[in-house]
Amino acid sequence: MGGFATGITIDATGKCVYVGENTVAGQAASVAAASLSATGTLGPFTEYNGTLGTGKNSNDVTLSSTGKYLFIANNSSNQITAARVGPDCTLAKGTVSATGGTAGRDYPGQIAVSGNTVVVGDFNLTGSLTMPSMGVYNTTTNGSLKSLTTGSALHPLTTVQLAVPLSVVIAVESAE
Protein backbone atom coordinates (compact mmCIF):
# COMPACT_ATOMS: atom_id res chain seq x y z
CA MET A 1 0.00 0.00 0.00
CA GLY A 2 1.03 3.62 -0.51
CA GLY A 3 1.07 4.57 3.18
CA PHE A 4 0.18 3.02 6.50
CA ALA A 5 -3.43 2.07 7.19
CA THR A 6 -5.20 4.61 9.39
CA GLY A 7 -8.85 3.93 8.58
CA ILE A 8 -10.78 0.95 7.27
CA THR A 9 -14.38 0.26 6.31
CA ILE A 10 -16.33 -2.60 4.75
CA ASP A 11 -19.37 -2.08 2.52
CA ALA A 12 -22.86 -3.24 3.54
CA THR A 13 -22.64 -6.35 1.34
CA GLY A 14 -19.42 -7.45 3.07
CA LYS A 15 -17.75 -7.78 -0.34
CA CYS A 16 -15.53 -4.67 -0.47
CA VAL A 17 -12.84 -3.33 1.89
CA TYR A 18 -11.54 0.26 1.70
CA VAL A 19 -8.42 1.44 3.53
CA GLY A 20 -7.40 5.06 4.15
CA GLU A 21 -3.64 5.40 4.00
CA ASN A 22 -1.73 8.07 5.87
CA THR A 23 1.15 9.22 3.73
CA VAL A 24 3.81 11.88 4.21
CA ALA A 25 2.12 15.21 5.00
CA GLY A 26 1.17 17.09 1.88
CA GLN A 27 1.10 14.07 -0.44
CA ALA A 28 -1.99 13.25 -2.46
CA ALA A 29 -4.76 11.24 -0.80
CA SER A 30 -4.14 7.51 -0.95
CA VAL A 31 -6.81 4.83 -0.61
CA ALA A 32 -6.65 1.09 -1.28
CA ALA A 33 -9.63 -1.09 -2.21
CA ALA A 34 -9.99 -4.87 -2.32
CA SER A 35 -12.70 -7.48 -2.66
CA LEU A 36 -13.54 -9.68 0.32
CA SER A 37 -14.77 -13.25 -0.20
CA ALA A 38 -17.37 -14.99 1.94
CA THR A 39 -14.51 -16.97 3.51
CA GLY A 40 -12.65 -13.78 4.49
CA THR A 41 -10.01 -13.89 1.77
CA LEU A 42 -8.93 -10.47 0.50
CA GLY A 43 -8.42 -9.98 -3.20
CA PRO A 44 -5.53 -7.89 -4.52
CA PHE A 45 -5.58 -4.25 -3.45
CA THR A 46 -6.10 -1.53 -6.04
CA GLU A 47 -4.27 1.68 -5.13
CA TYR A 48 -5.83 5.11 -5.69
CA ASN A 49 -2.97 7.57 -5.19
CA GLY A 50 -4.03 11.13 -5.97
CA THR A 51 -6.67 10.07 -8.51
CA LEU A 52 -9.78 10.67 -6.40
CA GLY A 53 -9.59 14.45 -5.95
CA THR A 54 -7.41 17.29 -4.71
CA GLY A 55 -7.29 16.19 -1.07
CA LYS A 56 -3.94 15.68 0.63
CA ASN A 57 -3.06 12.83 2.98
CA SER A 58 -5.82 10.33 3.74
CA ASN A 59 -6.67 9.47 7.30
CA ASP A 60 -10.06 7.90 7.92
CA VAL A 61 -12.56 6.43 5.45
CA THR A 62 -16.26 5.59 5.76
CA LEU A 63 -19.06 4.90 3.33
CA SER A 64 -22.15 7.06 2.87
CA SER A 65 -25.36 5.48 4.13
CA THR A 66 -26.34 4.77 0.50
CA GLY A 67 -22.97 3.14 -0.24
CA LYS A 68 -22.54 5.40 -3.29
CA TYR A 69 -19.67 7.47 -1.83
CA LEU A 70 -16.53 6.76 0.16
CA PHE A 71 -15.77 9.73 2.41
CA ILE A 72 -12.04 10.27 2.94
CA ALA A 73 -10.63 12.60 5.64
CA ASN A 74 -7.80 14.57 4.01
CA ASN A 75 -6.00 15.84 7.09
CA SER A 76 -3.23 17.82 5.38
CA SER A 77 -5.57 19.87 3.16
CA ASN A 78 -8.50 20.19 5.61
CA GLN A 79 -10.91 18.59 3.15
CA ILE A 80 -13.24 15.63 2.83
CA THR A 81 -13.17 13.75 -0.48
CA ALA A 82 -16.33 11.90 -1.55
CA ALA A 83 -15.10 9.31 -4.05
CA ARG A 84 -17.76 7.59 -6.14
CA VAL A 85 -18.08 3.86 -5.44
CA GLY A 86 -18.38 1.70 -8.54
CA PRO A 87 -18.91 -1.98 -9.24
CA ASP A 88 -16.37 -4.57 -8.08
CA CYS A 89 -15.00 -2.33 -5.30
CA THR A 90 -13.75 0.34 -7.71
CA LEU A 91 -13.52 4.05 -6.88
CA ALA A 92 -13.78 7.11 -9.12
CA LYS A 93 -13.05 10.79 -8.68
CA GLY A 94 -15.81 12.60 -6.85
CA THR A 95 -16.26 15.87 -5.02
CA VAL A 96 -13.97 17.54 -2.49
CA SER A 97 -15.44 19.67 0.30
CA ALA A 98 -13.58 22.00 2.65
CA THR A 99 -14.35 21.39 6.32
CA GLY A 100 -14.39 25.10 7.17
CA GLY A 101 -11.11 25.15 9.07
CA THR A 102 -7.66 26.32 8.05
CA ALA A 103 -5.36 24.03 6.04
CA GLY A 104 -2.14 23.42 7.96
CA ARG A 105 -3.88 24.07 11.29
CA ASP A 106 -7.16 22.11 11.29
CA TYR A 107 -6.87 18.40 10.58
CA PRO A 108 -10.00 16.27 9.98
CA GLY A 109 -9.28 12.91 11.54
CA GLN A 110 -12.36 10.70 11.92
CA ILE A 111 -15.65 10.52 10.05
CA ALA A 112 -19.02 9.08 11.11
CA VAL A 113 -22.20 8.86 9.01
CA SER A 114 -25.86 8.44 9.93
CA GLY A 115 -28.37 8.89 7.11
CA ASN A 116 -27.43 12.15 5.36
CA THR A 117 -25.53 13.50 8.38
CA VAL A 118 -21.73 13.43 8.38
CA VAL A 119 -19.74 14.28 11.52
CA VAL A 120 -16.01 14.96 11.27
CA GLY A 121 -13.65 14.98 14.27
CA ASP A 122 -10.99 17.65 13.81
CA PHE A 123 -7.98 18.66 15.83
CA ASN A 124 -6.82 22.24 15.62
CA LEU A 125 -3.16 23.02 16.21
CA THR A 126 -2.76 26.28 18.09
CA GLY A 127 0.93 26.70 18.67
CA SER A 128 2.16 23.48 20.25
CA LEU A 129 -1.26 22.59 21.73
CA THR A 130 -4.44 21.31 20.16
CA MET A 131 -8.06 22.52 20.31
CA PRO A 132 -10.36 19.65 19.24
CA SER A 133 -13.51 20.46 17.32
CA MET A 134 -16.07 18.76 15.11
CA GLY A 135 -17.94 19.64 11.96
CA VAL A 136 -21.52 18.57 11.22
CA TYR A 137 -22.65 18.40 7.60
CA ASN A 138 -25.41 17.12 5.32
CA THR A 139 -24.52 15.24 2.16
CA THR A 140 -25.88 16.41 -1.17
CA THR A 141 -26.86 14.19 -4.09
CA ASN A 142 -23.32 14.42 -5.56
CA GLY A 143 -21.60 13.56 -2.26
CA SER A 144 -20.42 17.08 -1.41
CA LEU A 145 -20.91 18.34 2.13
CA LYS A 146 -22.99 21.31 3.31
CA SER A 147 -22.33 22.65 6.81
CA LEU A 148 -25.30 22.53 9.18
CA THR A 149 -24.01 25.50 11.16
CA THR A 150 -23.90 29.21 10.58
CA GLY A 151 -20.63 31.07 10.95
CA SER A 152 -17.74 28.69 11.59
CA ALA A 153 -18.34 25.15 10.33
CA LEU A 154 -16.34 23.74 13.24
CA HIS A 155 -17.71 23.36 16.77
CA PRO A 156 -15.12 23.57 19.59
CA LEU A 157 -15.32 20.51 21.87
CA THR A 158 -13.40 22.00 24.77
CA THR A 159 -11.80 25.22 25.95
CA VAL A 160 -8.79 23.27 27.21
CA GLN A 161 -6.01 23.06 24.66
CA LEU A 162 -4.62 19.55 24.97
CA ALA A 163 -6.89 16.74 23.80
CA VAL A 164 -7.16 15.35 20.27
CA PRO A 165 -10.38 13.61 19.14
CA LEU A 166 -9.34 10.16 17.99
CA SER A 167 -12.81 8.79 17.28
CA VAL A 168 -16.25 10.07 16.37
CA VAL A 169 -19.36 8.05 17.22
CA ILE A 170 -22.91 8.93 16.22
CA ALA A 171 -25.56 7.59 18.57
CA VAL A 172 -28.96 7.27 16.93
CA GLU A 173 -31.81 7.61 19.39
CA SER A 174 -34.53 5.02 19.05
CA ALA A 175 -38.15 6.17 18.61
CA GLU A 176 -39.34 3.39 20.95
Instruction: Give the total number of structural domains in the chain.
Output: 1
Reported confidence tier of residue 17, pLDDT bands at 50, 70, 90: very high
For 33-90, write each residue's pLDDT tens digit: 999 999 999 999 999 887 887 777 777 899 999 999 999 888 777 788 889 999 899 9
> Do 71 and 52 contact (CB within 8 A), yes or no?
no
Q: What's the angle, vertex CA 66, arms to CA 117 and CA 173, rounded to 5?
A: 45
Residue 175: predicted pLDDT: 56
- Residue 176 within any structural domain of the chain: no
pLDDT of residue 173: 57
173 in any annotated domain: no
Cα(97)–Cα(145) distance, integer angstroms: 6
User: What pLDDT is recorded for position 130?
Assistant: 59
Mind listing the pLDDT tens digit for each residue in 133-171?
677 888 888 888 887 766 555 555 555 555 454 555 555
Instruction: Determine, yes or no, domain membership for 171.
Output: no
Q: pLDDT for 23-44, tens place per residue?
A: 666 677 688 999 999 999 999 9
Q: Are 65 and 51 in contact (CB under 8 A)?
A: no
Query: Does the pLDDT at position 172 exceed 70?
Result: no
Cβ atoms of 102 and 51 within 8 Å: the answer is no
Q: Residue 77: inside a domain, yes or no?
A: yes
| DSSP assignment letter at 56 | B
Query: Is there a domain that residue 172 lies in?
Result: no
Domain that holds residue 19: 4-156
Query: Nearest CA to 121 among 57, 75, 171, 64?
Result: 75
- Indicate whether 67 belongs to any domain: yes
CATH assignment at residue 35: 2.130.10.10
Please check whether residue 124 is in contact with residue 132, taking contact to mean a CB–CB distance below 8 angstroms: yes
Count H helices, E strands: the chain?
Answer: 0, 13
pLDDT for 97: 79
- Taking only the tens place, the pLDDT of each residue in 95-145 is 887 766 655 556 677 788 888 888 887 766 555 555 666 778 888 888 888
d(CA 112, CA 122): 12
Write down the pLDDT at residue 131: 61
Would residue 166 count as lying in a domain?
A: no
Instruction: Report if residue 101 sits inside a domain.
Output: yes
Average pLDDT score over the chain: 77
